Structures are given as structure tokens and as C-alpha cells.
Chain A
Amino acid sequence: MGPLENLTIVEMCGPLGEYAAKLLGDMGANVIKVELPTGSPSRKIGPFVDDIPGPNRSLNFFYHNTNKRSVVLDYRNSEEDRNLLLDLIHEADLVIEDHVPDDLPSLGIRYEEIAKRNTGLLWCSITPYGLDGPWSQYGASDMTALAAGGPMSMNGYSPEDVPDAPPIHGKGDLAYKTASHYAVIGTLVALRHRLKSGEGQLIDCSMHEALSSTTEVGLPYWLYTGKNILRQTSRHASVQRTDPWQFPTADEKYILVFGTGRSAESWLDFKKWLQNDGFGLQLDDARFDDPLARQGGRGTTESKEINSELAKFIASKSAEEIYRGAQHRRLPWGTVREPHEILEDNHFRSRGHIVSVSISDANKEHEMPGAPYHLSSTPWELRLPAPELGEHTDDVLGDLQDHSLRDR
């Protein structure tokens, strides 16, 4: 059982915040997902099983809602359901919600009032821009959040690869997931304070601030030199243009190259690897012995020559051969893989990273990624597949009536 097994959570989230509740549920928390009769907005987001939309057919919903139970309450229109929601929250340790800032208060669902009865309650609001401020009423999609928060300005193409290319939105809802990571961190920190003091509190999680904290050297460059870094193809944005890192292979994939040997020993090893195949014979020249001359990003003729030989070498081989060959020489290179290729890699399978789940309407076990971390005595665990809409309404409301919501 996970470390959070004694926690009861009421979640009212769509795509922005539901990953946070999954992270907690996957580690043992009792997550009750409260949905309107129309269902969470993420049930309408594909891909769908067999490409047929339906509230219980979204693979997007399915992945982000494991280890939760679904309760339908029409808290927008029904006073009775609103009261049931308030009763549920009264029994809970934590509420996670991603409504726009004034929405729930306008329905009479206010943290400040509920906390008078349940003083230990933690309430995590995940919003695009935070609970106050001039942009607090602004909406966001995953793309617009990555735009405002800064990561997107660093992703894209060098002008020689794609002229006039815009900043690029990497797919996978990583803005929502970054906000969710910060929400979970804040929640766990607040939980520790509650353990010591008994006090609950409001956690104001702004996706904008989470993303603005996720831009690596972007801020230091501005803060210390007043320069914005420039986008380049599949490598770090930088003040000066640097050499390419990404090379096509013989089997129409790409290899991401990270360093060609910093120490003398690893340089020799690298050189021998290419030369065994007849590439890079000129790399024996003494002018390549200086590690600074070899370093990409300094614009030396040496680093350009190394890259040109490397490109030919990589183009002659399969991605797998280059990847394994590099790693066996302690070079941290990787194949640019498609998401599903993790399933075909025995390393991750042998670590138990791949899990099988049954999917409603698909009647079959399917594989997907499982644990992001392995905790030795309280491991990640798939106890429940994502719920059908309202699947647990009767169970949960029955338990609420019997005051046994927390017994599982």
C-alpha cells in the first residue's frame, strides 16, 4: 500500500488538475472525483477507444484518472447535491480543484467557510494564473500556458533548418502536468505542517508560476546579462548559436548526441568507434587534442568537422546500434523515440515500469507506463482503473451516510 493510504481526497478537476490527484491516488490516497452529470471535461478529450467519443471511452481520461472513484453530483443546479458535496468535503483531508477563481465561491462552496468546521482541511486550487492579480480571470490552454510561462519561447528551430518558425508547443499537456507536480509538492508540504500543528490551509497553485519556474538557464541569462536566449533545433536555446545535437540514422530515426568525449580517454574511445568504420580518419590530427576546440558551441572548425564526420557515421547505422554503442562507451546519447517504444525496451519492462490495465469498453488488457518512482516499502500501485462516469456514486454516498467514507 502506498504512503498516503490514510488520506481522503475530494477532487473536482478537468485536464489542468486531474494529474495531481492521480499522483496522490497512485500512491494510496482515497480519491473521490466529483463530476457534474455532464462528466469531467477531460472525458471529451481524445484519443478515444476505436476513435468513437463517449464519456467512458477517452484514453486521455483513462490515463489521468487511475485510482479514483467517480461520484456524480450536480453541484451547479441542485441544492441537495451541493449539500452532499459539502458533507463529502467535511469528511475529507484535502480538496483539489481547478475551477476558475470565483466559480466555486459563487456557488457557496468556499474554503474559508468550510474550514471553520474542518480546521485541518487542505484546499489546493490549481488555476491558470493564481487566485489574485490582473490575469487571474484569464483562461488558459496547455499551449497558451506554455507561451505565457516561458518554456515555449525556448522551443523551436534554428533559422537554417526552418526559416521564420514560431516557438513550438510540445504536445503531451506538459503545462498541466507541471502545474500538477507543483500542486502535489505544495500539498505534501502543507500536509507535513498539518501533521505538526493540526492546521489546514489554502494552497494557491498558479500554473503560470509553476511554468515560470521551469525554464532552466532562460532566467539567469536575462537576470545577469540582459539577454534573451534564442531557439535552436532540438537543443538548448542559447545566446550564441551552437552546433547541432540531433542526427538522422539509416533507419529514419534520430539520435540525440550529448557530448563527444570530454576527457582524453573518452575522446579516444569515441574516435576509435568512428574510425573502425572508416569515418573521422582526420580526427587524429593534433589540433583535435584540445578539448576546448572540440566543444560544440564555440564555433571552432574542429567541432564542425567532428560533427560532419559524426553525421555521416550515424547516417550509416541504425538508431539502436548508435544508441547502444554510445552508451557502452559511457556517452549519454539517446534515440529520439516515440512514446510507445518504452514498451519494447526490456530494461524498463524488467523494472516493472510497464503495467497492464483493463479498459472499459475495450474488454482487454492494455499496457501503459506505471510508476514514476519506486518507493521500496510503500510502492506505486494500480488498484483501480479510471472510473466510469458516476460508477461509485451509490457506494460513496452510502459510505457518507454510514460515516464510513474513510474505511476502505
Chain B
Amino acid sequence: MLTLLLRAKVPNDRYNRLMLAPLPLDGIRILDLTWIIAGPVCTRILGDFGADVIKIEHEQAVDPIRMGRPIIGDGPTLNNSGFFNYINRNKRSILLNIRHPEGSEVFSQLVTESDVIIENFSSGVLESWGFGYDHLKELRKDIIYCSVSGFGHSGPDNHYTTWGPTAQALSGQTIMSGLPDAPPAGWGFSFMDHTAGYSAAIAILMALYHRDIAGDGQYIDLSQVEAGSVLTGSAVLDYTVNNRAWKRVGFPPGNHAWEPQVAPHNTYRTLERNGDDDQWIAIACLSDAEWESFVRVLKLSDDLSNEWINDSAFSTNESRLRHQESLDRNIEKWTRARDGYELMALLQSAGIKAAVCQKPGDRVETDPQLDFREWWQTVYHPELGQSTYDGVAPLLQLTPGSVRKASPMFGEHTDEVMQEVLGLSSHQIADLRAKGVFM
């Protein structure tokens, strides 16, 4: 814990500016019925820019990420998951039993006071509780209702479900990542939970813009698989226009380029750092001019093992593509004895696209760019102490997003929201609580 405390920085200039700037989504209220990752990523973004995100929770169906690793302490308390804290900052949490008759009434009143409702249940769940879009619209005429599901709310398979990795598999991302003669490498995290969240945020912001101009709300149906499929358009067109499927000899091409077809384009081992030998630099020469710069750098680096560079086999891109294996081996002989960050600076100063394969720890502790941009922000959390978060992308010069609050304790804001949003008295709240509405 000591090192974590030491990392907490004194608020800096950018931090102070962030705190003083107006929040661009101030005044927008989001009823957040989502859990796991995709939905919460969406509402994290809206909260970062100032929307009032009210996360509705229930004791009988706790968001599994509240117990998600890393857990800090001996066992889960619902409030000590580092992962939950990371994706639920800037939100409020209330406990509400929507299936209790009076809980349903409280929920109806919250709907009338909200701009957006978002959920990521399986198709039909909210409807079965009596809150389909038609009813929501009766409660609030201009409501924006966003459902995030694996397969969308229509179509023969609408009851099928996904997690991020299955959506990646079905939409083509998994098979587009890997070495040619090995199983697919896929993605080592739920890329499509992030991306479904980004797509939902975009759709909601577009619907809000339309509402602000035209006055009407609408129903957004987002399928995680479709949000993934749209990322593969070039490969689909290669099939429909050129009749060429993705799976073919040499595919997926590892870290060699797909399009544009250029070489060198790969990752190369670099010198061990801090006792960790899993160190790589990605280098891409996208044009002949970049290759010529690369040649100059290698010739200047005063290393006898670089004489291969004069071999005519490497003089044109076409020829380099044909001799990629030996090209890569030769380059790695040069990188292997050097520090990745030094190579990155050397190559970038010569106009060559190169970057260290940074691990999470590298970004937090070493990355000078994120440090310069004052990217890391620290906020106090009652069970996790001073907690560090990434900042808010992109940077809006006039109305930036900010990290103002840690993730909420389970049900932390029930009373606050009932008083402030619905105007209930403490007597009314106690009465509802006694009836089991807030659980």
C-alpha cells in the first residue's frame, strides 16, 4: 500500500483547470441498469463529461465486477474491486428492487426525471418487468432508451448472449489476430466490451443531439456483434468484390503487414529491462523514404553486424517482402542488444514509426508522453485509498472531462438520490426501506 500512496500526486495545473471548467454534459441524467463491462464503459464516458449517472443495483443481482479481480484485501466486500473502481468512477449507486410494486413506482418516477435509460440485459428482460420502450415513452415522452446486447433485440437469434470474447470471435476480430501456422491469438482482453461501450456512447450522444434540436427521443438497439462486424469492412469487401476469404496461406500474417504490404513491419526483441526479458519494439517502414532513413540509422549505429543492410535483397519493398524472414532476423540482431525506449527515440528522430510494446506498468511508470499530458489522476476511495485512474480522452480544450469521484460504494447514494431527484422526505425513505424497496 505504501507504494500506492506514494504514487498519489499533488493536484497539478491541468487537474486544477479540469476541476474549474464547465462540464459539457451537465444536466443530463442517465439511469444506468447495465453491468459487467460494455454498458459501464459507456456510462463511464458519459459520467466523465459530467452526466449524472445513477447506477441502479440490487442485492439479489450484484454486478459481478464488484467481485472482479484484482480484489484488495482478504475477500470481496463489494467495494474493494480495483477493476470495478476503474470502470465506475464518477457514478452514483442506488439500491432498488424494481420488481417490488413500490420499487416499480420509484423507478417510474426516476424515468420521468431522466434523459437516458441504458441497459444490457438479454432481449426482453426489461419488457418482462413492465418497462418496454412504449411504456418508458409514456412515462417520459422524449426518453432515449439504449439497449446493449449481444445480438440486438430483433432477429431469430435475439435470445443468444455474448461476452466480449465471443463477440470478438463471431465478428472476425479473433481470427484477424495471430501467427500464420498457429491457432488464432485473438485479443487478450474484451476489446469488444470497450468498443460496444464506445458505440453506445456515440449512439446516445447522437440521439441527445437530435432530441435537443427536434424534441423527440428514440430507441437505440445495439448489438455487440454488429458493433464488431463494422470494424472488418475492408476484409468483407475483399471477399464480396475479390472473392478472397481471410483464411488463406500465410494468414493471419502475425506482425507482418496486411495492407499496405510493406516491410519491415514487425516486432523485435530488445534488451531486458528491470529483470523482465519480455521486451519488444514494433517497427514499421511504410514507404521507401522511411526504409532509406532506417538504413541510414543502421549504418550510423557503428555495428558490424549491420553489414547485411547492403545486400541487394533488401533494396526494394517487393524484394524485402520476399525476404522478410531474414530481414527480420537481421533487424532483431541489432535491436536485441539495445534498450527499447532508446531505440524508439533514435528511430522516431529519423522519421521511422517505432514504439515500445508497453505493458500497463510501463505506461504508468515510464511513458514520458502520458506523464507530460498529466494523464494519471488520483481520487480517494474509502476502501481502496488514494486511487489512480487514467484521464479522459479526448481532451476538450474548453470543456474537458474529468475524474471527480471514485466508484460508488454499493448503494451509497440511495438516500441522496431519493431526496435530491425525487424530493422524498427522510420519513418516506425510511418507510420504503422498511418495505424492502431499497435492497
B-binding residues in A (CB < 8 A) = 2-4, 6, 23, 27, 44-47, 49-51, 59-60, 62-64, 124, 129-130, 132-141, 143-157, 161-162, 165-174, 177-178, 181-186, 188-193, 195, 199, 201-206, 208-210, 212-226, 228-229, 231-237, 245-246, 248, 254, 256, 258-259, 327, 330, 332-343, 346-348, 350-351, 353, 359, 362, 366-378
Nearest CB to that of B37 among chain A residues? A216
Q: Does B219 contact A (CB under 8 A)?
A: yes
Contact partner of B259 (CB less than 8 A), chosen from A47, A132, A178, A371, is A47
Bound CA–CA A210/B208 (angstroms):
23
Q: Are B284 and A144 in contact (CB under 8 A)?
A: yes
Nearest CB to that of B28 among chain A residues? A192
Q: Does B299 contact A (CB under 8 A)?
A: no
Bound CA–CA A235/B69 (angstroms):
16
Q: Are A183 and B370 in contact (CB under 8 A)?
A: no
Query: For A161, what are the chain B residues with a Cβ–Cβ distance below 8 Å?
Result: 182-183
Q: Are B348 and A203 in contact (CB under 8 A)?
A: no
Nearest CB to that of A49 among chain B residues? B241
Query: For B230, what are the chain A residues with a Cβ–Cβ distance below 8 Å?
Result: 369-372
Contact partner of A353 (CB less than 8 A), chosen from B207, B229, B356, B372, is B229
Q: Are A147 and B236 in contact (CB under 8 A)?
A: no
Q: Are A143 and B393 in contact (CB under 8 A)?
A: no
Query: For B352, what are the chain A residues with a Cβ–Cβ distance below 8 Å?
Result: 139
Main secondary structure of the interface of A (DSSP, over half): mixed
- Distance from A230 Cβ to chain B, minimum over Cβ atoms (Å): 8
Top 10 A-B residue pairs of the complex, sorted by shortest distance between their CB atoms? A170-B177, A154-B188, A339-B172, A3-B210, A234-B186, A334-B166, A205-B394, A63-B233, A224-B82, A339-B232
Pairs A–B under 8 Å by Cβ, sample size 7: A166-B267, A202-B397, A203-B395, A224-B4, A340-B236, A353-B229, A375-B220
Query: For A369, what are the chain B residues with a Cβ–Cβ distance below 8 Å?
Result: 226, 229-230, 232-233, 236
Bound CA–CA A370/B182 (angstroms):
31
Query: For B221, what are the chain A residues with a Cβ–Cβ distance below 8 Å?
Result: 373-374, 376
Nearest CB to that of A125 among chain B residues? B394
Query: For A206, what are the chain B residues with a Cβ–Cβ distance below 8 Å?
Result: 373, 393-395
Q: Are A135 and B368 in contact (CB under 8 A)?
A: yes
Bound CA–CA A154/B191 (angstroms):
11
Q: Are B205 and A150 in contact (CB under 8 A)?
A: no
Q: Does B231 contact A (CB under 8 A)?
A: yes
Q: Are B170 and A334 in contact (CB under 8 A)?
A: yes
Q: Are A236 and B189 in contact (CB under 8 A)?
A: yes
Query: For B205, what are the chain A residues with a Cβ–Cβ distance below 8 Å?
Result: 185, 188-189, 191-192
Q: Does B125 contact A (CB under 8 A)?
A: no
Query: For A44, what are the chain B residues with a Cβ–Cβ distance below 8 Å?
Result: 260
Q: Does B156 contact A (CB under 8 A)?
A: yes
Bound CA–CA A74/B16 (angstroms):
42
- Also in contact, A201 and B393, with CB within 8 A (given A23-B202, A172-B173, A377-B218): no
Query: For B167, what are the chain A residues with a Cβ–Cβ distance below 8 Å?
Result: 334
Bound CA–CA A340/B82 (angstroms):
38
13 other contacts beyond A169-B282, A201-B398, with CB at 8 A cut-off?
A51-B242, A60-B234, A63-B237, A147-B357, A148-B358, A154-B189, A155-B188, A168-B178, A171-B253, A174-B173, A192-B208, A258-B163, A340-B239
Interface string of B167-206 (1 = CB under 8 A from A): 1111111111111001111111111011100111111011
Contact partner of A154 (CB less than 8 A), chosen from B86, B184, B187, is B187
Bound CA–CA A186/B202 (angstroms):
9
From B95-103, B305-313, B383-391, B423-431, the one touching the partner chain is: B383-391
Within 8 A of A (CB), among B17-45: 22, 24-25, 37, 45
Contact partner of B207 (CB less than 8 A), chosen from A46, A336, A375, is A375
Contact partner of A330 (CB less than 8 A), chosen from B161, B266, B387, is B161
Nearest CB to that of B177 among chain A residues? A170
Bound CA–CA A353/B373 (angstroms):
39
- Also in contact, A157 and B231, with CB within 8 A (given A172-B173, A199-B398, A333-B166): no
Contact partner of A178 (CB less than 8 A), chosen from B195, B201, B357, B398, is B195
Query: For B222, what are the chain A residues with a Cβ–Cβ distance below 8 Å?
Result: 372-374
Nearest CB to that of B23 among chain A residues? A193
Contact partner of B394 (CB less than 8 A), chosen from A23, A199, A204, A339, is A204
Q: Are B369 and A130 in contact (CB under 8 A)?
A: yes
Q: Which of A23, A45, A141, A193 has the most CB of B within 10 A?
A: A141
- Also in contact, A134 and B368, with CB within 8 A (given A178-B195, A188-B209, A348-B229): yes
Query: For B395, what are the chain A residues with a Cβ–Cβ distance below 8 Å?
Result: 130, 186, 203-206, 209
Q: Are B227 and A372 in contact (CB under 8 A)?
A: yes
Q: Are A156 and B209 in contact (CB under 8 A)?
A: no
Interface string of B118-156 (1 = CB under 8 A from A): 000000000000000000000000000000001110111
- Also in contact, A138 and B348, with CB within 8 A (given A150-B358, A201-B398, A346-B156): yes
From B55-63, B106-114, B359-367, B413-421, the one touching the partner chain is: B359-367
Q: Does B72 contact A (CB under 8 A)?
A: yes
Q: Does B70 contact A (CB under 8 A)?
A: yes
Query: For B363, what are the chain A residues with a Cβ–Cβ distance below 8 Å?
Result: 149-150, 212, 219
Q: Are A193 and B172 in contact (CB under 8 A)?
A: no
Q: Are A181 and B184 in contact (CB under 8 A)?
A: no
- Distance from B388 Cβ to chain A, minimum over Cβ atoms (Å): 5
Query: For B86, what are the chain A residues with a Cβ–Cβ distance below 8 Å?
Result: 219-220, 223
Q: Are A188 and B255 in contact (CB under 8 A)?
A: no
Q: Are B218 and A375 in contact (CB under 8 A)?
A: yes
Q: Does B245 contact A (CB under 8 A)?
A: yes
Query: For A134, what are the chain B residues with a Cβ–Cβ distance below 8 Å?
Result: 368-369, 372
- Also in contact, A338 and B172, with CB within 8 A (given A182-B393, A223-B82, A224-B70): yes
Contact partner of B361 (CB less than 8 A), chosen from A145, A226, A258, A338, is A226
Bound CA–CA A307/B188 (angstroms):
20
Nearest CB to that of A46 among chain B residues? B259
Contact partner of A144 (CB less than 8 A), chosen from B160, B261, B354, is B354
